[in-house]
Structure 1
Amino acid sequence: MKLLNLFTFVSAIGLTLAQCPNYLKSCGGACYSPNEYTCDNGTLCPVNMKSCNGACYSPKEYHCQNGGLVYGPETGNNSPPSNNNGTPTNPATPEGQKPQRDPSIPKKNGKMVIQIDNKTGGAWRDDEIYWVVLGRNQNHELSYLDLNGDLIRADMSLNDATTPRGNRRYASSIIHKLSDRKYVHLPAVESGRMYISYGEPVYITFNEGGYAGPDVNNPTDPNINTLFEYFEFTTESINGTITFHGNTTRVDFFSFPYMIRLMNTDGSYDRWEGDTGSRDEIFNSFKRSVSDPFKTLVDQYRIMAPCKTSFNEGRTYGDYFDDYINTFWSKYSHENLNFQCDAGSFEGHVEGNRMVFRKSGDNRTFFVDKPSTQDVLEGRGAFDRGSSSNPDLTRIELVIEAQLCAAFNRGIATEPSKWRDPSTYYKSNTVYNEYSQFFHNHSVTGKAYGFCYDDVNDQSTLLECGNADILIIDLKW
């Protein structure tokens, strides 16, 4: 997933001041382009963003308070928080439908809380619901989270049991039932992932330097028939408090509905994301509302993302976007494509099997190859390449690729005037990603991670704040 994180520290070309070319400046020993970045208190941030204790943020959406990020624009900034899809900053979800915090859960210094609530209406008992948290510790070592909220370094010695299917060794001690604990304290975790499953656990096998998780495209995988969901997150420890960045995702599949709600310590940040409707309602609505090609994504366990099944290369609908791509290619062989995004203004045209772009105010040239249907749906290949050995050039090419990928999925690739207008998405007479459209339409906020670049123009389910207090997860059925 290509998470374009507002707060992530922005890397630059690792050269000392003496080595910086004339067209670059230095910030804390790193070289940067003043057209792309600003140096704020020794931290590199994209233009129009600021630094708060090393974390970059938009002053139109956040402000820095006591060394931590707080949701809401800076004082004196008259621009309201970004709200591109027309939904309120705090969606008008009835209070009773929002995940509710349990005030009896104790707090721990330097950690936030993950609270998990069984809202399946009796379909699944607490002892039939399992959870696992994996991530990397401060030494970048693969670890798991124990019930005490501590990261324990993982290795192959933890593989102490055998899966009931597939005869694979797995780590049983990292698995927790909801009946064991309905909350856990969360420290700083790099590249975290939480798996939640019904009926049986997600089986994890640790190997040298990594782990084998569920692979629902592998018919021999022991998790193939397990109902599970996951969400991704990173937490940072800043001045003794936790800054949280995370999101629900439909990039791979839908298995069952759930909601998450993130709140900070002083109540100034309170946002939620998740699915609307029961599992049966979502499955039935999907089969009723999408066209025949997308109906093939449904099985008894999941609604799969298109490229995970019948839209992959060599499969029935592996050429689904090809005609649209060719139409786009022909159009911009004869005229220029002009678009704007947060990274600047761009103009490009087709030359053979690639597009050539120039950025306003920049005399360099950027290239993007002609994509395939799979590149569009997965954000891979031509849309995850970057053709240059220069990190700065590659970064800009990846920005262009993300914009193009999002436009194709939303059915507006040949209409760049609509790229920044969510009200126009998924409404054209051309093909588009009906899977992604569906999960936007069945979200409590209208946002979803229906494909990897759904964060383009702020349409993803990303939640993030400083001084994070609690993430509440309501599991539904």
Structure 2
Amino acid sequence: MVSRRAILGGAIAAGIGGPLAVSALFSAAQAADGLPVTVVNNTGRFANTEIFMYIVGTDPASGQQGFVRSSARLTPAQLSDNGPDGFADLAIPLAASGPTTVVLPKMSGRIYFSVNDKIKFKVVPDGAGRPALQFPAGWVASDPSFPVLHDCVEFTFSDAGMFCNTTMVDMFSIPMSITLTGAKTQIAGALVDGGRDKIFAALRAVPEFARLVVGDNLRVIAPGHGIEAGLFPSTFYDSYIDAVWARYRTTDLRITANGRVFTGRVTGDQLVFDAGVAPFRKPTTKDVFFCDGALAAPNDGVTGPVAAMLGAGFNRATLLDSPDQPVGDPARFYQGAVANRYSAAMHASSVDGKAYGFAFDDVVDFASFIQDTAPTGMTVTLTPFGSSG
């Protein structure tokens, strides 16, 4: 299964001309060359003319970053794409009314949407001197696109099929869902009625998380980024981490991954497992929220899967609930004072209970991720905003 982490690994490598008429992007004859992606505006608040679309990502063969400007073709990014203002206008305006359809080429990347203003992409040299795209960072106050209402879905479209998700790993702003058709019809990311309002209300009700809400419900940023911005306590998880380390100093922690059971105990200041798993040093609160640092997951089939289970156990606050991980009952997630309330709010407002509230949310299949090995079409629906924002 291709998770969000695998999608991002192939799509966004960097720190990431003019608008194209929608009519030039699609015809039935071109569908065989790519995957038709239809955008439906059900926001209930914004007209099509107020919404812009962007398709950006990476060519799987060359690794070159680029953007979609013509049907089923990824245009390589060039420094000359930057205009007089220093930014590249990669916006695709939606049709004046009704759905908009675009043919997606084989690539990994993101489909962004912005409202009332355009995202300010920039082409810069990467570490190897090749042109790369600078993507918006809605969690950084100095980012040129920070004031712009925007969000995205992620995907990998290849010979193996379509793998896609809605994501709140970095932030949440525009409610949207994905419908993927092919061997069957699947939907991901749909919120309950008033879901956007419910998310903001839930987070505003928790003092530590309230400061993550930007402006008048423009967006909410993930707590890891909140730590970086000085908006969230960097010690939030410390007491829970200490309790986990204390418990498993005298108790076995058993993690089942890839059909194997790995047994670990804390020795010194490291959580040490058997069967070739690399030891884990004691994580920080930031490591927990980012599922990185001490909880980084290498793509090795052994340490990586165990790291993912640990990251999920910390974020869902299940590691003290059971020595057998992962816990699969969502009723046991996010209990107690120390838990990822940001992720909890996303799941609570999702129709199917699935969301991408943190990077390892795909553990035991609770992520807003869908895939199809024989896709015939994809629809991204911008769903109702509710009363706020």
Q: Shorter-chain TM-score: what band?
A: 0.7 to 0.9
Structure 2 unaligned blocks of 5 or more: 11-25
Structure 1 counterpart SS, 2:214 = coil
* Residue 95 (structure 2) pairs with residue 179 (structure 1): yes
* Cα offset, 1:343, TM superposition: 4.6
Say whether residues 1:3 and 2:33 are aligned partners: no
Report the TM-score when normalising by structure 1.
Answer: 0.69
User: Structure 1: which amino acid aligns with 2:135?
Assistant: G
Aligned amino acid, residue 143 of structure 1: G
Match of 2:19 in 1: none
Aligned to 2:174: 256
Secondary structure in 1 aligned to 2:163?
A: strand
Between Structure 1 and Structure 2, whose CA radius of gyration is higher?
Answer: 1
Per the alignment, residue 290 of structure 2 pairs with: 378
Aligned match of 1:115: 38
CA distance in 2, matches of 1:313, 1:237: 40
Out of 164, 168, 172, which is 1:246 matched to?
A: 164
Tell me the number of residue pairs that the alignment of Structure 1 and Structure 2 aligns.
Answer: 355
Deviates most, 268-277 or 218-227:
268-277
Q: Tell me which moved more, 212-221 or 368-377.
A: 212-221
Report Cα offsets for 1:424-443 as digits up to 9, x if no partner.
43253351111101111111
Contact 2:237-2:284 at 8 Å conserved across structures: yes
Q: What residue number does 1:67 align with?
A: none
- What are the Cα deviations for residues 175-233 of structure 1, in whole angstroms up to 9, with x where unaligned? 111137811011211x3111111111111101113121212233332101000011111
> Which structure 2 residues correspond to residues 37-436 of structure 1 after superposition, within 5 A?
106=28, 108-121=31-44, 123-137=45-59, 138-162=61-85, 169-172=86-89, 174-179=90-95, 182-189=100-107, 191-208=108-125, 209=130, 210-237=132-159, 243-264=161-182, 268-278=184-194, 281-287=197-203, 290-300=205-215, 301-309=218-226, 311-312=227-228, 316-359=232-275, 364=276, 366-384=278-296, 392=300, 395-414=301-320, 415-417=322-324, 419-436=326-343
Structure 1 residue 161 displacement after superposition: 3.8
CA displacement, residues 131-169 of structure 1 (integer Å, 9 cap, x when unaligned): 11112223221121114231111110111242xxxxxx1
Structure 1 residues 106 and 444, CA gap change in structure 2 (3 angstroms): farther
Q: Is the 8 A contact 2:255 2:325 kept in 1?
A: no
User: Per-residue deviation at 1:455?
Assistant: 0.5
**Which residue among 369, 377, 385 is the counterpart of 1:470?**
377
Residues 295-323 of structure 1, C-alpha deviations (whole Å, 9 max, x = no match): 221122111111111x4496651101000
Cα deviation, 1:86-109, whole Å, max 9, x if unaligned, reads: xxxxxxxxxxxxxxxxxx973621
Do the aligned residues in 2 keep the contact of 1:261 with 1:273 (CA within 8 Å)? no
SS of the residue aligned with 2:57?
Answer: strand
CA distance in 2 between counterparts of 1:128 and 1:464 reads 30
Q: 2: CA distance between counterparts of 1:313 and 1:385?
A: 25
Which whole-Å CA distance do the structure 1 matches of 2:310 and 2:229 have between them?
Answer: 20
The 2-side partners of 1:381 and 1:2 are apart by 19
Task: Name the Cα RMSD after superposition.
Answer: 2.6
Of Structure 1 and Structure 2, the greater helix share is in 2
- Residue type at the aligned position of 1:326: D
- Equivalent position SS for 1:211: strand
Distance 1:194 1:254 in 2: 15
Match of residue 56 from structure 1: none
TM-score, with length taken from structure 2? 0.84
Structure 1 contact 129–197 (Cα < 8 Å) conserved: yes
**Any idea what SS the aligned residue of 1:195 has?**
strand
What secondary structure, in the 3-state scheme, does the structure 1 residue paired with 2:346 have?
A: helix
Unaligned runs of 5+ in 1: 10-103, 163-168
